[in-house]
Chain A
Amino acid sequence: MKKDIILAGVGGQGIISIAAIIGYAALQEKMFLKQSEVHGMSQRGGDVMSNLRISHEEIASDLIPFGQADLIISVEPLESLRYLGYLSPQTGWLVTNTTPFNNISNYPELDTVIAAIKKLPRHIALDADTLAKEAGSARSANIVILGAASPFLGLAYEKFEDAIRFTFRTKGEDVIGKNLKALKLGREFADKNI
């Protein structure tokens, strides 16, 4: 099994945390992993992306070739479209938050952005911010998105629950519980909309 994943968002939105949780789950399955991150200038409110590759075979490149990503996971709608050049036209899924992070003066009309997402053959678009609040943790929108992406990652759902328990192990049961709820709400949305 091999999955090539593009993670997208705006600096500070927590895409590295999503990568870390998927990475932990993959390592528990004895998979190989390469993950290219963005540090530095772009983290100051600019667009950021990460290449995450997990595979049972050894991985060569740190970067995913264009048109070969199995999945784009984005915590921001406009950013979800920025990296479409990486997505496989035949099989690729796009999973994105619909809540915009608007820190630029020329942000396109949100309706047109959402319309462009909905035009894609395989997509899951959900309001992760609202679902995160419903889970009791407004900061967990990225975990909702991870839940929505979980059907496409080739790993059993329980593996992500384990990874969340590990990632938030020092934060207490309350935080773990809210994040597990966030993960579940994202997953349920995806299951209903695939």
Chain B
Amino acid sequence: MANKLLLLGDEAIALGALDAGLSGIYAYPGTPSTEITEYVQHSAVAKENNIHCSWSTNEKTAMEAALGMSYAGKRAMVCMKHVGLNVAADPFINSAITGANGGLIVVSADDPSMHSSQNEQDSRFYGKFAMVPILEPSSQQEAYDMVHYGFNFSEKYKIPVLLRITTRMAHSRSGVVRVASREQNTMHLPDDLRQFVLLPAIARKRYKNLLASHLLFIEESENSPFNTYIDGPDKSMGILVSGIALNYLMENFPDRKIPYPVLKIGQYPLPRKLVEKLIDECGELLILEDGYPMIEELISGYVPGVKKIRGRFDGTIPRTGELNPNILAVALGLPDTKGLQVPDLMVGRPPQLCSGCPHIDSYKALNEVLADLPKGRVFSDIGCYTLGALAPYEAINSCVDMGASITMAKGAADAGFIPSVAVIGDSTFTHSGITGLLDAVNDKSPVTIIILDNATTAMTGGQDSAGTGRLEDICKALGVEESHIRVIKPLKKYHEENVRVMKEEIDYMGVSVIIPRRECIVAIDKRMRQKFK
């Protein structure tokens, strides 16, 4: 057990990157990916070696900066939650065409069961779409090892590598053994200085190059240390299992001996020969994957109608949500286990705004201003303040994607729905709200935009917010009239005044911005504790 560290999956990835000669990590916070970047930020080694680790404004800027670092020949990592990959999709997909120079790993953390997310999209589809290799760890140790492997792979084939994890991998701790660490790369440009110029004539060549490489990626998958075929005596069924689902499978066999042949997948594209071997040698197939039934869909296409395939599509596994050992027990025909009955008195305890949270005062004022109007006119966004949708506030009517509050309010106002209000946090505003505000200014839309400024990215644990101290300047520069940029203090004692300011701006038939400004109380608490430590 010597040198074994107890690490979250996220921390194992961060440490793996540091040990593998990382020069820069780029990210916007998002559960369950946040702790990767935070680990690097708290690392003395990272500080000593001047490794870039400050937060990016959003996932797209993070992805592009990481690509730039790769261009310069250094190893870069970019991290995000799954929906962040939607924001970064443009550079991500195109980075497969440009290829990499220094090793480039894109980490996307999926959230099956939506513990802290608005959907449970599976990032492996993005990897397949971009035609880049995907790594999917089944343990914290593999997560660590895959980072070394991924950087080497990325440099060998000059291709970005997607590392896909799920919430359970990200936020579960286990022992990790390190390998020898490696120096950072020296700066070196791509051999072909037009590699990254995606003019159509060049892009066509690069795309053909990617397609040719893709065949090599399949070959690599056949021989990958992360794809293993474990034979079993009972060929009536073959099990194809990916990522963390392997652990739930093993849990059901206390001696760790599975009677059926098992193909464990940790690297994509799928190893065609290994998959065919499993199909040839076994009766039916059971497919176990945490996330969308991606492999299941692919395999079904291999042998349409020939082989019985069990998984999420036929109901053997529930169509949605995270896997667990019991779901697999039932799928394997093993006895299900049950505990004690939860008494009927049980009630839910949803998350809520903290006592003393500035958003509470903002919502109380807003609710009072809008009380006499028909309901349903507050578009909101992603952050702690989304909890304003719940009782007792029930103050907002939308939460879609980062920045959508402003643009949806504008669209509704364009439709004649006036007054139309947007509520967005300071960090979400700089992430993706600025461009929408410019649209509203250019159209002179009658919208009121409330930027809740608590000077932090609160929901993910209090990371730096990109626009702190400059929100008024940003709004002014976008063309919002100075007289309609109103800063208020969300405190009970200013309630009447805040109601008056909100009412004035909601009555104004143009773009107005209200900035309720008070620091997040959790952030204050954290700051004070650090100060007096």
Contacts and interface: CB of A to CB of B under 8 A. Distances in A.
Interface of A: 10-11, 23, 27, 30, 32-47, 51, 59-69, 78-79, 81-89, 92, 103-109, 112-113, 116, 120, 170
| Overall SS of chain A's interface | loop
Contacts of A62: 168-169, 172, 174, 244, 247
B337 interface: yes
A88 B172 contact: no
B474 to A, nearest CB: 27
Contacts of B250: 60-61
Interface in B315-371: 324-326, 329, 336-343, 345-354
Q: Which of A42, A61, A86 has the most CB of B within 10 A?
A: A61
B436 interface: no
Closest 10 CB pairs of A and B: A40-B116, A40-B31, A46-B351, A60-B250, A61-B251, A67-B337, A67-B339, A44-B351, A84-B340, A62-B172
Interface in B466-510: none
Contacts of A35: 172-174
A30 B329 CA distance: 30
8 contacts: A35-B172, A39-B34, A40-B115, A44-B351, A44-B387, A65-B329, A84-B343, A104-B348
B122 interface: no
B190 interface: no
Contacts of B329: 65
B393 to A, nearest CB: 13
Contact of A92 (B336, B339, B354): B339
B256 interface: yes
Given A10-B349, A30-B1, A81-B342, 5 more contacts: A37-B8, A42-B115, A84-B342, A104-B348, A104-B349
B6 A42 contact: no
Nearest to A52: B173
Contacts of B175: 32-33
Nearest to A62: B172
A104 B347 contact: yes
B384 interface: yes
Interface in B429-468: 459-461
A46 B353 CA distance: 10
Contacts of B354: 44-45
Contact of A85 (B34, B171, B339): B339
Given A37-B171, A44-B387, A11 B351 contact: yes
Interface residues of B, number: 52
B32 interface: yes
Nearest to B325: A65
B75 to A, nearest CB: 27
Contacts of A92: 339-340
B14 to A, nearest CB: 15
B177 to A, nearest CB: 13
B207 interface: no
B337 A46 contact: no
A85 B347 contact: no
Nearest to A79: B349
B254 to A, nearest CB: 9
Contacts of B174: 32-35, 59, 62
A78 B325 contact: no
A45 B169 CA distance: 23
B248 interface: yes
Nearest to B387: A44
Contact of A44 (B32, B35, B352, B533): B352
Nearest to B170: A39
A90 to B, nearest CB: 10
Contact of B339 (A59, A87, A108): A87
A40 B459 contact: yes
A36 B116 contact: no
Nearest to A89: B340
Nearest to A37: B171
Contact of A65 (B326, B340, B345, B460): B326
B73 to A, nearest CB: 35
A170 B530 CA distance: 13
Nearest to A108: B345
Nearest to A19: B173
B340 A34 contact: no
A4 B250 CA distance: 16
A63 B339 contact: no
A38 B341 contact: no
A46 B256 contact: no
B308 to A, nearest CB: 27
Nearest to A120: B340
Interface in B384-412: 384, 387, 391-392
Q: Which of A42, A51, A83 has the most CB of B within 10 A?
A: A42
A165 to B, nearest CB: 18
Contact of A47 (B349, B391, B460): B349
Nearest to A27: B6
A65 B352 contact: no
Contacts of B171: 36-39
Given A39-B171, A60-B250, A69 B349 contact: no
Contacts of B341: 84-85
A40 B34 CA distance: 9
A193 to B, nearest CB: 20
Nearest to B347: A106
A69 B325 CA distance: 13
Given A40-B116, A41-B115, A81-B346, A69 B31 contact: no
